[in-house]
Amino acid sequence: MQRSLSAEDARFQAEMREFMTTQVPQELRDKVTAGVELTKEEFVRSQRILNAAGYAVPHWPAEWGGRDWTPRQLHIWQSEMQSAGVPALLPFNVSMVGPVIATFGSEEQKERFLPATANLDIWWCQGFSEPDAGSDLASLRTTAVRDGDEWVVNGQKTWTTMAQHADWIFALVRTDPSAKKQEGISFLLIDMTSPGVEVRPIQLLDGGHEVNEVFFTDVRVPAENLVGEENRGWDYAKFLLGNERSGIAAVGALKRHLARIKSYAARVTDENGESVLGHPLVAARVAELEAELMALEVTVLRVAGHSHDGKPDPASSILKIRATQLQQDVLELAVDVAGSMSLVWLIEDDAAGEIEEDAVIPGWARRSTPTYLNFRKASIYGGSNEVQRQIIAGSVLGLKG
Amino acid sequence: MDFTLDSEHKALADAVREMASRRGARPSANGAGPRPHDPDLWSAMAETGLLGLPFREEAGGFGASAVEVFVAARELGRAGLQSAYADALLAGSVLADAGDDLLGSAVAGEALVLPALAEPMRAFAPVPGGVTATITGEGAVLSGTKGPVPTGAAATHAVVTARIDEEGAGGSTSGETVLVLLDGPRVENDVMVLDGASGRILLRGADADRALVDALAHASVVLAGQALGAMESAMTMTSDYLRTRKQFGVPLAAFQALTHRAADMYVSLELARSTAMYLAMSVAEGDTDPALVGRCRVVLARTGRHIGQEAIQLHGGIGVTAEYAVGHLTAMLTAIERTYGDPRQLLGRLAADVADYDTVGVLT
Ligand SMILES: Cc1cc2nc3c(=O)[nH]c(=O)nc-3n(C[C@H](O)[C@H](O)[C@H](O)COP(=O)(O)OP(=O)(O)OC[C@H]3O[C@@H](n4cnc5c(N)ncnc54)[C@H](O)[C@@H]3O)c2cc1C
């Protein structure tokens, strides 16, 4: 056991901090820090800057842009990105489909997709969930039927995040309807511009458009776009979901957010003209959240939680549960600090990317309630927290009913 | 203590329910966010008698009590209908205390009189902060900024709280609260800038403070009714969903991990129900003690938060969509929790006095 960073890691940390705070444009980082939704172009711009420096996919195999960093260094990299407010690397690319292709894909697939995926030349979306296959993902019904050199895909995906921006979708499709449910699924890469693909928006309760339904009608997909082995898609999906979950534990971003809320609370006054940050119940809540975030951060350092040897680590479930709970608690505190001001909303589409820091009722206060409500999603997506508890109970504690 | 609702209460509830289903919530581009004032809904509420429920018959009201207000508000909450009802009864209560004639048009739905209490970057407090009034005979000239004033853009009049900043005519003392009625307030972007706006004085000093305590208690009954109604609907929707949504080949109700969570929601719901009714009967009997109101509001905030969050969670993805009602109910509960103060402030005020008594009694 040793707490301090080695001299080498300390140097690494300084390097990351320097890069993240000087090479990624301030205007983008200010928006992230203020909780403003970024445009597609802004995400692309930021990811390309990181990729050019070799900082977009350091966790991938060295051959495809990986850096062979230690888990400690990967943690430092992530937390420096998050605390500097660097726009998130597109998770569908860097932590979901990229590692799947790198681990299970063919050489041709790697060459064709990995560089473009790292550089966000291709924007991916995740086509797993269906209307009747949410928590019970393995019951998915979208089919792919082989026809010569092609797969013909029919069915519907839903909750597809940012499909409106996507060039490609990685989808779980049923290729063997007669097999047991988990055994007849394959992992297929589909060009979103293929005839027969239709995207319809779903509005969320914050008024925003981030998820979609995606319909497939006789969509023809070249056979070479199937990843790994036919009917082994479920294994790849589990591998991917393990990485998705641990990626959700964005401790650096949570710490930065809590710090912002403190600065807001310092400016809001109570009836005696004193800052509400001095209010014992507000201050105690902040202190409590800071202690809990510390515990989460040291747990992330102790159990990295990424999938390895092609298998998910059950620790990813622990991180997913705790991180989403804290994320939701931090966002709720922002609503309390905004108080009456939280009753009026800023709808992201109307705001057109403005931070509105100096408005009479500032942007952060108007964003507090829609953001809080939107992030009720965090305990639902990425495998709901109930499903994570099931995994912990079953795989870690051996409690199977 | 008698919690039963009589046949008149039930008839009132039926009438409001019928009105609410006829008026239904319309789709909005803003998801579950705040909506602009809906004049059609407001006329329907006036016709159903809601706007005058607790006010004297001479003012066009029905002389009913806070219990009737609770019954009506609960139906609005059940239907998930957003409106300025709590605000309007708050302002109406001040007008009634001041004996102001405008109350008649407010009750008829002709005038929309809304309170402007909150101030930007300032935690809610019943007494005004940065808005000041200079007294000029019967009137007052205001300066400062109020906000947010939700739906304020539609208001014909506003009841503004301000602090008297000068010894003026009529012997007012500097620092006292004054309630000023503004005709044609200008609200832009939910904010009311009062650079030299002048209005009529409704009440001042101790009378104003007392009127505000009463008005906030009445408005809290509206919030309590709406919150309870929203919780009831969210509970029903959640139980129905657990019975019908299937995953893993069985209804979600087959998973005890979920049914126990629903049972916990129900525990919260029953406590909310008793508390909301207790608040309504207390106010109906003239007990508007801020400590009592605060305690009830803290319980309703906690239970509303619990039920709203769990209702979304147990629905899964569909719970966070704009299309599905459960998220709207949760948004309504979230807003109610922070209207006229939030639980942390209310607790702060209660906490300051705990050394002064042994127990909290409920039977009087
Ligand atoms: C904003 C958002 C973005 C998303 N993005 C994507 C995306 O990009 N791609 C994608 O493929 N999917 C995405 N999802 C889908 C997400 O993964 C599913 O919503 C999730 O798996 C839950 O499925 P469901 O919504 O159908 O809920 P259901 O599975 O119907 O669950 C309803 C409730 O029952 C609980 N439950 C279900 N089964 C059990 C059980 N056995 N034991 C105990 N509790 C149980 C759940 O935890 C939940 O509380 C997204 C979802 C949201 C909300």
Q: What is the CATH number of the domain that holds B14?
A: 1.10.540.10
Kindly state the average pLDDT of the residues B233-259.
98
Best CA proximity match to B342, nearest among B118, B33, B171, B18 = B118
Q: Mutate which of A276, A343, A377 to test chain B, going by most B C-beta atoms within 10 A?
A: A343
Best CA proximity match to A64, nearest among A97, A16, A40, A41 = A97
pLDDT of B295 reads 98
Structural domain includes residue B325 = yes
Measured CA angle at B342 (ends B127, A338), to 5 deg: 90
Kindly state the average pLDDT of the residues B347-358.
95
Out of A80, A244, A297, A332, pick the active-site residue. Answer: A244
**pLDDT tens digit string along A251-274?**
999 999 999 999 999 999 998 889
**pLDDT tens digit string along B145-163?**
999 999 999 999 999 999 9
- Ligand 1 atom at minimum distance from A133 CA: 26
Domain ranges across chain A:
7-89, 124-231, 249-396
Structural domain includes residue B143 = yes
The verdict on B101 and B23 lying in the same domain is yes
> Amino acid letter at B158?
A
ipTM: 0.96
Show Cβ contacts of residue A254 under 8 Å, excluding neighbours closer than 6 positions.
Answer: A293, A296, A323, A326, A327, A330
Taking the centre of ligand 1 as the mean of its atom positions, its distance from the CA of residue B316, in whole angstroms, is 5
Residue with tokens 């401790």, as numbered in its chain:
A251
Show Cβ contacts of residue A251 under 8 Å, excluding neighbours closer than 6 positions.
Answer: A79, A82, A293, A296, A297, A300, A323
**pLDDT tens digit string along A265-304?**
999 999 888 999 999 999 999 999 999 999 999 998 888 6
DSSP B49: T
pLDDT of A300 reads 87
Write the residue in A136, A271, A373 that is nearest to B327 by C-beta.
A373
Write the residue in B34, B319, B351 that is nearest to A345 by C-beta.
B34
Is residue A2 pLDDT above 90, yes or no? no
The verdict on B230 and B268 lying in the same domain is yes
Residues in chain A, total: 401
For residues A175 and A227, is the Cβ–Cβ distance under 8 A? no
Confidence of residue A185 (pLDDT cuts 50, 70, 90): very high
Of A135, A165, A238, A324, the residue with max ligand 1 atoms within 8 A of its CB, to mutate for a pocket test, comes to A135
d(CA A144, CA A136): 19
Domain boundary among B203, B231, B250: B203
Confidence of residue A306 (pLDDT cuts 50, 70, 90): low
**pLDDT tens digit string along B210-235?**
999 999 999 999 999 999 999 999 99
Chain B closest-CA separation from residue A173 CA (Å): 18
Best CA proximity match to B121, nearest among A347, A263, A257 = A263
Sort out which chain A residues have CB atoms less than 8 A from B127's CB and list them.
271
Residue B30's SS3 state is: coil
Residue of B nearest to A379 (CA): B313
DSSP B353: T
- Ligand 1 atom at minimum distance from B313 CA: 49
Kindly state the average pLDDT of the residues A311-321.
85
Best CA proximity match to B344, nearest among A265, A289, A288, A337 = A337
Structural domain includes residue B216 = yes
Establish whether A244 is a catalytic residue.
yes
Confidence of residue B174 (pLDDT cuts 50, 70, 90): confident
Structural domain includes residue B278 = yes
The verdict on B50 and B187 lying in the same domain is no
Q: Which residue has the higher pLDDT, B170 or B124?
A: B124
The verdict on B319 and B188 lying in the same domain is no
Interchain contact, A268 vs B323, CB within 8 Å: no
Closest residue CA from atom 51 of ligand 1: A381
pLDDT of A305 reads 61
Kindly state the average pLDDT of the residues B267-286.
98
Interchain contact, A270 vs B312, CB within 8 Å: no
pLDDT of B3 reads 93
The verdict on B220 and B319 lying in the same domain is yes
Is residue A351 pLDDT above 80, yes or no? no
Residue A222 phi, psi (nearest 5): -55, 140
Is residue B344 pLDDT above 70, yes or no? yes
Sort out which chain A residues have CB atoms less than 8 A from B313's CB and list them.
376, 379-380, 384-385
Kindly state the average pLDDT of the residues A177-195.
97
Sort out which chain B residues have CB atoms less than 8 A from A341's CB and list them.
118, 120-121, 147-148
Interchain contact, B191 vs A336, CB within 8 Å: no
Other beta carbons within 10 Å of A273: 9
Is residue B166 pLDDT above 80, yes or no? no
Residue B22's SS3 state is: helix
Is residue B1 pLDDT above 90, yes or no? no
Structural domain includes residue B117 = no
Q: Which CATH class is domain A249-396?
A: mainly alpha
Interchain contact, B123 vs A269, CB within 8 Å: yes
Q: Which domain holds residue B327?
A: 210-356
pLDDT of A349 reads 72
Strand segments (E) across chain B: 113-116, 132-136, 139-143, 145-146, 157-164, 177-183, 187-188, 191-193, 197-204, 246-247, 250-251
Write the residue in B125, B312, B339 that is nearest to A376 by C-beta.
B312
**pLDDT tens digit string along A157-172?**
999 999 999 999 999 9
pLDDT of A352 reads 75
- CA–CA distance from B20 to each of B16, B40, B41, B42, B80 (Å)? 6, 11, 8, 11, 9
Is residue B169 pLDDT above 60, yes or no? no
Chain A closest-CA separation from residue B123 CA (Å): 5
The verdict on B188 and B102 lying in the same domain is no
pLDDT of B171 reads 55
Level-2 CATH architecture, domain A124-231: Beta Barrel (2.40)
d(CA A83, CA A250): 10
Q: Mutate which of B320, B337, B349, B354 to test chain A, going by most A C-beta atoms within 10 A?
A: B320
DSSP A392: I
d(CA B36, CA B50): 19
Mean per-residue pLDDT of chain A = 94
Phi/psi region, residue A191 (left: phi>0; alpha: psi -120 to 50; beta: rest), is beta
The verdict on B312 and B215 lying in the same domain is yes
pTM for this entry: 0.97
Kindly state the average pLDDT of the residues B114-136.
93
Confidence of residue B248 (pLDDT cuts 50, 70, 90): very high
Mean per-residue pLDDT of chain B = 95
Structural domain includes residue B119 = no
Q: Where are the alpha helices (DSSP H) in A216-314?
A: 233-248, 251-267, 280-302
Best CA proximity match to A57, nearest among A247, A293, A209, A199 = A247
pLDDT of B88 reads 98
Write the residue in B33, B150, B341 that is nearest to A347 by C-beta.
B33
The verdict on B224 and B194 lying in the same domain is no
Please give all residues whose beta carbon lies within 6 A of any atom in ligand 1, as ranges.
A 126-129, 134-135, 159-161, 211, 377, 380-381, 384, 386-387, 390; B 245, 247-248, 252, 255, 257-258, 313-314, 316-317, 320
pLDDT of B172 reads 53
The CATH number linked to B233 is 1.20.140.10
Kindly state the average pLDDT of the residues B299-317.
98
Structure token pair of residue A209: 């458009």
Kindly state the average pLDDT of the residues A347-376.
90
For residues A219 and A196, is the Cβ–Cβ distance under 8 A? yes
pLDDT of A105 reads 98
Interchain contact, B123 vs A270, CB within 8 Å: yes
- Ligand 1 atom at minimum distance from A161 CA: 8
Domain boundary among B203, B228, B259: B203
The verdict on B157 and B49 lying in the same domain is no
- Ligand 1 atom at minimum distance from B317 CA: 25
Residue B146's SS3 state is: strand
Q: Which residue has the higher pLDDT, A223 or A250?
A: A223
Count the domains in chain B: 3
Structural domain includes residue B364 = no
Residue with tokens 């979609």, as numbered in its chain:
A212
The verdict on B278 and B351 lying in the same domain is yes
Write the residue in B127, B316, B327 that is nearest to A271 by C-beta.
B127
The verdict on B339 and B238 lying in the same domain is yes
Helices A280-302 and B343-351 sit at what angle, rounded to 10 degrees?
A: 120
Chain A closest-CA separation from residue B180 CA (Å): 20
Kindly state the average pLDDT of the residues B62-74.
97
Residue of A nearest to B34 (CA): A344
Structural domain includes residue B75 = yes
Structure token pair of residue B52: 């005058």
pLDDT of B167 reads 60
Q: Which residue has the higher pLDDT, A354 or A326?
A: A326
pLDDT of A316 reads 87
